[in-house]
């Protein structure tokens, strides 16, 4: 075994090793114990050999280091203290207890410094039994020895053992130094240990360390973590000397407590006092600006960051991107993102969220696929955003893959991720999977309950939605505004008017949730769908809000269903005054006039649309078969199986040719009446249904998605097809799901 006693030449060896430590470890990246040979009988200083050993340890190549140690022993080359220190540090970092013990045995009778290195290694490996044994056997313990063991316990949250050692130190008359205090204070990160923190603060004052910058900074940060911001500010203000850590600690506390203005006030104070700023200061300040949506101040800070040349730093660049996204300035966010030299998972998450916010869901999925191909680091926020993108696109295959990938990586967010999965499966027509995702949550929060209630509401399962709401009432979760939107929608889509009235009245009285105009619109919709026009009109004109466009649109929709022309004209007039570019309002009035034979008035409505150059979003229906999405527009003739589709469509249309009363729909608004009669037979969802019938196996439901509301003719067509073919057909339009089977729809024609 190589001796650990130090020869006279050790000081020069140590100095050389210190110089070698500054050489990058890459010098031996391709060198192993087999390629680096030591001549037998070499009795030189061994500087190069120790350099190689240090390099191996820095690279974490412990096996190669063990082999090389044997060669050094055989050649009689001494291992210097710096090499042992590097080896022990590597063992601690890699939690390699067996290698650490091997090095310990080699040391024989080590110096106190190396004993402390061994002690630190045992603590890093969480082998506190070995650490305590070594500590008790040490003949000459110094304050550093005590500090290492105390820090080891405190860093692992074992406060009882840490304070037991502190008590022993005090009893033995050994003074606690700044390092011990700092490490103990860092471990106090929860309000439950506030009293211990206060006692340590008192002890710091008694020991005369209240002017020590690192200790007093740790005290201030301890109060921040224990949510005692007033105490933290008091300690901070009494500091004789401050550093960036103290400033950022208090700013972070304010930001986390929702006191962003106080954090920004500290930042401005830093500027006035000329405090040197680092990346963390800018990061926290930008987060405060994001929380308050202070775009102008954020831009000024961004300009200062650019001036300092820090915008390429990921810790600063990412909050800049997040600020612009929160303030709906996506072009600025995109430019800031491109300047980040090495984006991390938080950077990618921010830009993906931005693309989702502006509706570029395909772009967000494109980035996600690229990240997966490159095996880049991910986080739970990325998966939540991707799930939301797949919900919007109804991309079941991609969403299911992302869900599986998130589970595999352990990155399903328990705050929003599980709720996003519920919404995703609901919007993709897989309410069975949505139920499974919900029931797998041990204690669903308000967001999860709301997601599953809304899912059932939009699938037309009012009874199940209301049953879930009653279950929620028995849980610890409290309903919010969105929950009641789901409940009222369920009632509205199923004709449960009395129930809707009761829920609206109970919102503020029983749950402390003040109804908004959106809740009143749901109630207007419920009345109008049920043909209760007096109640609907009175609610619109007497509700505690000024009626908005949606209020009148809900009323107009009911008038179209029940052919109430007189009230429909009033509703349309008010709607188009508030939103003269609302195409749906014109379409509803055209159809309402047409249903009463008032074709001159209908022509005037269409003329106004033409004069205003109003064009509705192009209608599109799509269906996924064998992982591939097939999209159709009205009169589409570009599909590879075009002939087969139209052959099947002709066969189906032959039995539903009642188009005597053709109403203007969102798909054929630009065409004349003869053209509309022809195009009615070629609406996008009819093409998708025909393709589904020739492509999807008989035992699998046909699931179709449409970006606009389905028209009555296509709704009747789907019912007829389900009856004559016996197939289950599900169509999700812009408002809800329709499940067709044996000639009936789940909405009971109440839509």
pTM exceeding 0.75: no
Domains in the chain: ranges and CATH: 516-616 (1.25.40.10), 620-655+670-745 (no CATH)
**707 Cβ contact partners less than 8 Å away, ≥ 6 residues apart:** 617, 619, 620, 621, 734
Q: Please give, one letter per residue, the 3-state secondary structure of 278-344.
A: CHHHHHHHHHHHHHHCCHHHHHHHHHHHHHHCCCCCHHHHHHHHHHHHHCCCHHHHHHHHHCCCCCC
pLDDT at 13: 41
- Which residue in the block uniquely carries the two structure tokens 């328990």? 414
Q: What pLDDT is recorded for position 9?
A: 38
Strand partners for 739? 730
**Token pair for 22:** 């500054």
In degrees, rounded to 5, the angle at the alpha carbon of residue 597 between the alpha carbons of residues 593 and 603 is 55
- Indicate the DSSP class of residue 512: -
pLDDT score of 176 more than 90: no
pLDDT at residue 661 in the model: 44
- Please report, for residues 388, 419, 421, 440, 700, the alpha-carbon distance to residue 436 in angstroms, rounded to integers and kept in the order given: 18, 12, 10, 6, 20
Structure tokens, 438: 């919900």
Rounded to 5 degrees, φ, ψ at 29 are -55, -35
Q: What pLDDT, on the 0 to 100 scale, is given for residue 230? A: 93
Classify each residue of 27-46 as buried b or exposed e, where b means 16 or more C-beta atoms within 10 Å of its C-beta. Answer: ebeeeebeebebeeeeeebb
pLDDT (mean) for 495-513:
94
Residue 77: exposure state from Cβ atoms within 10 A (0-12, 13-18, ≥19): buried
38 pLDDT above the threshold of 60 = no
Asked whether residue 500 carries a pLDDT value surpassing 80, the answer given is yes
Distance CA 92, CA 121 (A): 5
Of all helices (H) and strands (E), which one includes residue 705?
A: strand 702-706
Q: Residue 488 above 90 pLDDT? A: yes
215-219: average pLDDT: 93
pLDDT tens-digit readout, 261-297: 999 999 999 989 888 888 999 999 999 999 999 999 9
CA dihedral of residues 215, 217, 220, 224 (deg, nearest 10): -120
The whole-number pLDDT of residue 627 equals: 79
pLDDT-derived band at 527, boundaries 50, 70, 90: very high
Determine the Cα angle at 713 with ends 710 and 719, to 5°.
85
- pLDDT-derived band at 74, boundaries 50, 70, 90: confident
Candidates 725, 658, 716, 667; CA nearest to 692 is 725
Between 501 and 159, name the one with better pLDDT: 501
Containing H/E element for 266? Answer: helix 260-273
Say how far apart CA 683 and CA 667 lie, in whole Å. 7
Residues forming a β-bridge with 704 = 731
Q: How far is CA 492 from CA 149, 153, 362, 447, 471, in A?
A: 66, 60, 33, 22, 20
Give Cα separations from 85 to 70, 143, 152, 169 (angstroms): 18, 19, 17, 26
Beta carbons of 34 and 44 less than 8 angstroms apart: no
The least confident of 510-514, 587-591, 660-664 is 660-664
Check residue 41 and give its pLDDT.
44
Alpha-carbon distances of 130 from 107, 149, 590, 675, rounded to whole Å: 16, 11, 86, 88
Cα distance between the two ends of the chain: 87
pLDDT of 119 > 80? The answer is yes
- For Cα atoms 8, 9, 14, give the angle at the middle one, nearest 5 degrees: 125
**Residue 355 pLDDT grade (very low, low, confident, very high; cuts 50, 70, 90):** very high
pLDDT of 666 strictly over 90: no
Q: Token pair of 604, please?
A: 């005037």
Q: Is 95 helix (H, G, I), strand (E, B) or coil?
A: coil
**Lowest-confidence pick of 88-92, 154-158, 401-405:** 154-158
What pLDDT does residue 117 have? 94
Please give the C-alpha separations between residue 739 and each of 311, 629, 731, 732, 748, in angstroms, as whole numbers. Answer: 52, 20, 7, 9, 10
At 622-662, the pLDDT tens digits run 998 987 889 999 888 999 999 999 999 888 876 654 443 44
Per-residue pLDDT reduced to its tens digit, 672-711? 444 555 566 788 999 999 999 999 999 889 999 998 888 8
CA Rg, the chain, in Å?
36
Please state, in angstroms and rounded to a whole number, the distance separating the CA atoms of residues 747 and 620. Answer: 22
Tell me what the pLDDT averaged over the chain comes to: 87
Residue 522 has pLDDT above 90, yes or no: yes
List, as one string, the DSSP characters of 217-265: HHHHHHHHHTT-HHHHHHHHHT-SS--HHHHHHHHHHHHHTT-HHHHHH
Check pLDDT > 90 for residue 668: no
- Read off the pLDDT of residues 109-118 as tens digits, 9 standing for 90 and up: 889 999 999 9
Mean pLDDT, residues 303-327: 94
Q: For residue 173, is pLDDT > 80?
A: yes
* Partners of 740 in the β-ladder: 729, 745
pLDDT of 37 > 60? The answer is no
Question: 465-469, 615-619, 720-724: lowest mean pLDDT where?
Answer: 615-619
Per-residue pLDDT at 36: 52
> Rounded distance, CA 316 to CA 306, Å?
10
């Amino acid at each position: 075994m190589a001796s650990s006693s130090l020869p006279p030449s050790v000081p020069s060896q140590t100095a050389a090793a210190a110089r070698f430590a500054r050489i990058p470890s890459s010098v031996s990246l391709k060198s192993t114990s087999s390629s680096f040979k030591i001549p037998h009988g070499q009795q030189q200083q061994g500087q190069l050999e120790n350099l190689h050993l240090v390099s191996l340890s820095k690279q974490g190549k412990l096996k190669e280091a063990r082999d090389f140690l044997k060669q050094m022993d055989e050649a009689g080359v001494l291992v210097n203290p710096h090499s042992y220190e590097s080896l022990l540090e590597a063992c601690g970092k890699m939690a390699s207890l067996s290698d650490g013990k091997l090095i310990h045995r080699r040391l024989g009778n080590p110096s106190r410094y190396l004993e402390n290195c061994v002690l630190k290694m045992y603590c890093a490996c969480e082998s506190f039994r070995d650490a305590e044994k070594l500590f008790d056997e040490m003949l000459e313990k110094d304050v550093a020895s005590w500090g290492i063991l105390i820090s080891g316990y405190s860093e692992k949250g074992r406060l009882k053992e840490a304070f037991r050692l502190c008590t022993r130190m005090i009893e033995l008359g050994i003074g606690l130094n700044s390092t011990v205090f700092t490490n103990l204070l860092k471990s106090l990160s929860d309000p439950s240990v506030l009293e211990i923190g206060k006692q340590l603060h008192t002890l710091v004052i008694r020991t005369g360390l209240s002017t020590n910058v690192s200790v007093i900074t740790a005290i201030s940060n301890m109060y921040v973590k224990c949510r005692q911001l007033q105490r933290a500010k008091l300690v901070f203000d009494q500091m004789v000397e401050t550093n960036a850590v103290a400033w950022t600690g208090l700013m972070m506390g304010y930001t986390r407590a929702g006191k962003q203005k106080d954090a920004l006030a500290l930042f401005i104070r830093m500027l006035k006092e000329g405090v040197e700023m680092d990346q963390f200061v800018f990061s926290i300040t930008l987060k405060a600006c994001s929380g308050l949506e202070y775009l102008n101040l954020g831009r000024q800070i961004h300009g200062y960051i650019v001036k300092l040349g820090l915008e390429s730093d990921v810790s600063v660049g990412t909050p800049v991107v997040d600020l612009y996204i929160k303030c709906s300035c996506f072009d600025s966010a995109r430019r800031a993102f491109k300047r980040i030299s090495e984006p991390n998972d938080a950077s990618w998450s921010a830009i993906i969220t931005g693309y989702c916010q502006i509706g570029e869901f395909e772009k967000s999925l494109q980035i996600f696929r690229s990240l997966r191909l490159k095996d880049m680091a991910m986080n739970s926020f990325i998966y939540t955003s991707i799930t939301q993108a797949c919900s919007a696109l109804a991309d079941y295959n991609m969403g299911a893959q992302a869900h599986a990938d998130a589970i595999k990586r352990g990155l399903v967010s328990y705050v929003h991720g599980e709720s996003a999965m519920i919404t995703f499966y609901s919007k993709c027509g897989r309410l069975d999977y949505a139920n499974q995702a919900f029931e797998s949550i041990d204690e669903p929060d308000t967001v999860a309950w709301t997601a599953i209630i809304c899912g059932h509401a939009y699938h037309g399962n009012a009874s199940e939605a209301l049953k879930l709401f009653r279950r929620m009432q028995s849980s610890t979760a409290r309903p919010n505004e969105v929950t009641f939107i789901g409940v009222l929608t369920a009632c509205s889509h199923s004709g449960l008017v009395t129930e809707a009235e009761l829920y609206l009245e109970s919102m503020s009285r029983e749950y402390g949730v003040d109804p908004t105009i959106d809740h009143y619109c749901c109630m207007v919709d419920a009345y109008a769908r049920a043909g209760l026009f007096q109640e609907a009109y009175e609610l619109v004109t007497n509700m505690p809000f000024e009626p908005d466009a949606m209020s009148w649109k809900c009323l107009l929709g009911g008038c179209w269903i029940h052919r109430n022309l007189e009230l429909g004209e009033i509703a349309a007039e008010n709607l188009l005054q508030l939103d003269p570019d609302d195409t749906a309002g014109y379409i509803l009035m055209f159809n309402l006039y047409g249903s009463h034979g008032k074709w001159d008035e209908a022509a005037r409505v269409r003329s106004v649309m033409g004069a205003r150059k109003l064009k509705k979003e192009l209608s599109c229906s799509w269906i996924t078969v064998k992982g591939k999405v097939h999209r159709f527009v009205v009169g589409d003739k570009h599909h590879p199986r075009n002939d087969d589709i139209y052959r099947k469509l002709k066969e189906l249309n032959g039995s539903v040719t009642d188009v005597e009363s053709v109403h203007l729909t969102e798909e054929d608004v630009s065409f004349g009446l003869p053209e509309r009669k022809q195009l009615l037979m070629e609406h996008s969802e009819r093409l998708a249904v025909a393709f589904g019938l020739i492509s999807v196996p008989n035992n699998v439901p046909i699931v179709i998605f449409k970006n606009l509301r389905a028209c009555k003719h296509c709704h009747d067509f789907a019912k007829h097809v389900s009856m004559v073919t016996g197939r289950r057909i599900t169509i999700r339009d812009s408002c809800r799901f329709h499940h067709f089977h044996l000639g009936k729809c789940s909405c009971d024609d109440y839509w």
